Amino acid sequence: MKFIPHHLQTIIDGIRDIAQDYGLDFFETIFEMVDYQQMNEIAAFGGFPTRYPHWRFGMEYEQLAKSYEYGLSKIYEMVINNDPSYAYLLEGNNLVDQKTVIAHVYAHVDFFKNNYYFSKTNRRMVDEMANHGARIRRYVDRHGIEAVENFIDTCLSIDNLIDYYSPFIERRSKPMSEEEMRNREVPKFKAKDYMDEFINPQEFIDSQKRKMAEEAEQAKNFPREPQRDIMLFLVENGTLEAWESDILSMIREEAYYFAPQGQTKIMNEGWASYWHSKILTSKVLDDSEIIDFADINSRVMSSAPGQLNPYKLGVALYRDIEDRWNRGRFGKEWEDVDDLERRYNWDKELGLGKEQIFRVRKLYNDVTFIDEFLTEDFARENQMFTFGYNRKSGNWEIESREFKEIKEKLLNSLTNFGQPFIYVRDGNYRNRSELLLHHKYEGTELRVDYARGVLEALYRIWKRPVNIETIMDDKGQLLSYDGSEHKEKSITYKPI
């Protein structure tokens, strides 16, 4: 790690001021200079050099180091969501690259600070990660690397089984116990005796009673209702030793910390790319640097067929939004215009573009962003298509250029990160303390070999047989693992 040389610090300060003038609002950002080895190392740790020991970071490092050595890829920048933010510059990059990265970083930090989905993330994560590292190292000293690492593997198998929206749910009251629910009275409106049967009619009271009885019945369920935060359920109810439980909680916390970055990949990279282009081309570069900038920018924006580059899609969408709001191309009035000529020349000169993109970066995530702002015109202009696997030819083929299908497929792949929705349905399945998970089937099957791997991990935590209900070949199927062998049987699939 090296200090930033003086001339670069001047450039950083300059870009920071320009970014601020444009209205970007970021945490203090500390830049550090690293060589490619350190860069690969930090990247392997997901940005946190102090993380706990685990083999997968070593695997990650090997892959990064190899693809760098073979000239396949190179990490340009890395920035950590933290207050203050840390950003790394690669030593030996040319000056235009560095300038691009610096501007890009400031926009990322603005996004971290202002986007709603980041609002609940721990802004002292650098300290927290170091803390996790220290705790896990202590467990390693006590229980040995094998045991601890194996258990971490187990936890990582389920680290996507969290509820991405739960940080935003505020629970005001403590849930009632089953006992309390049974003894509840139907609340009545105050009324004089002779009015009572009109103000509190018997049918209503009865129906409320039935409803309450149902609720009380449900309260016997465990969990009370299907729960998506399976990690939490296991922290609270799994059969674990103290150190195991601690590790599971840490990994859950890290999963929640990283989740918003996955939820806003297109938006975040688009935002950063929008601003590095804007800042560099309007205020920073001189004529001699433009070609170099175009070169690096085109590399960032490139995409192979069948690939969707989040940088490219994101920046194009922001620009489209800015343009539409500048010219008033939104709302009912605009939607209703059929005449091509009028559409083409439509410009109400509202100049709301900048305000709108700042609002969008504050309130949206990738799913809502695409849902609301990906228009048919945009999809056509950007040559979007859907593709799928053709079993007959054994090829991946372009399937459609229909807007509806493109949008649906894109949203599907973004919703829940393109991963299946899994719930805990029953923690006392068959009344034998078995665990029953539920896969909310939406047309795509689970991959069985992986599902089995996860069941094994779950068994390690639950210590009793674990099951998941899903659909295979259009029929309900129950996958089970009892600690020694995997079983499958058909069931009737009841959706939740």
Partner 1 sequence: MTELNKIKQDHRRFKQIVRGKIKRNLRKYMSQGEITGRQGKDLVKVPLPRIDIPRFRFSQKQQGGVGQGDGDVGDSLGSGEQSPGQAGPAGNQEGQHGVEVDISLEELAQIMGEELELPNIEPKGVKRIETMRDRYSGIRSTGPESLRHFKRTYKAALQRMISTDEYDLDNPIVIPTKEDRRYRSWKETSIPESNALIVYMMDVSGSMGDEQKEIVRIESFWIDTWLRSQYKGIDSRYIIHDATAKEVDRDTFFRTRESGGTMISSAYKLAMGIIEEEYATDEWNIYLFHFSDGDNWSVDDTGECMRILTHGLLPRANMFCYGQVESPYGSGQFIKDINEHFGNHDRVTVSEIKNRDAIYDSIKEFLGKGL
Q: Site residues for partner 1, window 146-175 (CB under 8 A)?
A: 149, 153, 156-161
Q: Which of 14, 41, 226, 428 binds partner 1 (CB under 8 A)?
A: 41
Q: Which of 358, 387, 403, 493 binds partner 1 (CB under 8 A)?
A: 387
Quote the CA–CA distance of 413 and 417 in Å, as a whole number.
6
Nearer to partner 1, 279 or 379 (CB): 379
Nearer to partner 1, 82 or 100 (CB): 82
Report helix, strand or coil for 396: strand
Quote the CA–CA distance of 208 and 200 in Å, as a whole number.
11
Residues 120-149 that bind partner 1 (CB under 8 A): 126, 145, 149
Q: What value, to the nearest 5°, has the Cα angle with vertex 41 and ends 9 and 454?
A: 135
Nearer to partner 1, 306 or 331 (CB): 306
Residues 224-243 that bind partner 1 (CB under 8 A): none
Least distance to partner 1, CB of residue 260, Å: 11
Least distance to partner 1, CB of residue 39, Å: 10
Nearer to partner 1, 133 or 223 (CB): 133
Q: Decide if residue 210 touches partner 1 (CB under 8 A).
A: no
Mask 294-313, x = binds partner 1 (CB under 8 A)? ---------xxxxxxxx-xx
Residue from 219, 218, 252 nearest 234 by CA:
252
CB 371 within 8 Å of CB 411: yes
Q: Decide if residue 10 touches partner 1 (CB under 8 A).
A: no
Scanning 11-19, 180-188, 193-201, 404-412 for contacts with partner 1 by CB under 8 A, the matching segment is 404-412
Quote the CA–CA distance of 311 and 267 in Å, as a whole number.
8
Q: Which of 32, 91, 196, 434 binds partner 1 (CB under 8 A)?
A: 32
Scanning 43-51, 221-229, 291-299, 339-347 for contacts with partner 1 by CB under 8 A, the matching segment is 43-51
Cβ-count burial of 288 within 10 angstroms (0-12 exposed, 13-18 middle, 19+ buried)?
Answer: exposed
Measured in Å, how far apart are the chain's first and last C-alpha atoms? 53
Q: Which of 3, 10, 13, 59 binds partner 1 (CB under 8 A)?
A: 59
Nearer to partner 1, 346 or 387 (CB): 387
Strands 475-481 and 466-472: antiparallel
Q: Which of 375, 413, 428, 433 binds partner 1 (CB under 8 A)?
A: 413
Q: Which of 27, 330, 334, 385 binds partner 1 (CB under 8 A)?
A: 385
CB 324 within 8 Å of CB 348: no
Least distance to partner 1, CB of residue 165, Å: 16
Scanning 18-26, 93-101, 106-114, 401-409 for contacts with partner 1 by CB under 8 A, the matching segment is 401-409
Q: Decide if residue 337 touches partner 1 (CB under 8 A).
A: no
Q: Which of 265, 278, 361, 460 binds partner 1 (CB under 8 A)?
A: 265
Residues 426-485 that bind partner 1 (CB under 8 A): 439, 444-454, 456-457
Bridge partners of residue 79, in order along the sequence:
87
Scanning 11-19, 21-29, 52-60, 332-340 for contacts with partner 1 by CB under 8 A, the matching segment is 52-60
Least distance to partner 1, CB of residue 377, Å: 15
Cβ-count burial of 254 within 10 angstroms (0-12 exposed, 13-18 middle, 19+ buried)?
Answer: buried
Least distance to partner 1, CB of residue 405, Å: 9
Distances (CA, A) of 217 to 178, 179, 420, 483: 8, 10, 29, 31
Rounded to the nearest angstrom, the gap between the alpha carbon of residue 248 and the centroid of all alpha carbons in its chain is 19
The one-letter code for the residue type at 456 is: E
Quote the CA–CA distance of 12 and 285 in Å, as a whole number.
13
Least distance to partner 1, CB of residue 290, Å: 26
State the helix-helix crossing angle for 310-327 and 366-373, rounded to 10 degrees: 50
Nearer to partner 1, 56 or 430 (CB): 56
Distances (CA, A) of 417 to 81, 93, 161, 165, 435: 20, 33, 12, 13, 25
Up-side HSE of residue 443: CA atoms within 13 Å toward CB? Answer: 4
Q: Decide if residue 263 touches partner 1 (CB under 8 A).
A: yes
Least distance to partner 1, CB of residue 27, Å: 16
Task: For 300-353, give the secondary structure using H, E and C.
Answer: HHCCCCCCCCHHHHHHHHHHHHHHHHHHCCCHHHHHCCCCHHHHHHCCCCCCCH
Least distance to partner 1, CB of residue 206, Å: 43
Residues 360-379 that bind partner 1 (CB under 8 A): 366
Q: Decide if residue 90 touches partner 1 (CB under 8 A).
A: no
Nearer to partner 1, 158 or 296 (CB): 158
CB atoms within 10 A of CB 394: 7
**Total of residues contacting partner 1 (CB under 8 A):** 89
> Which two tokens mark 392?
């007959």
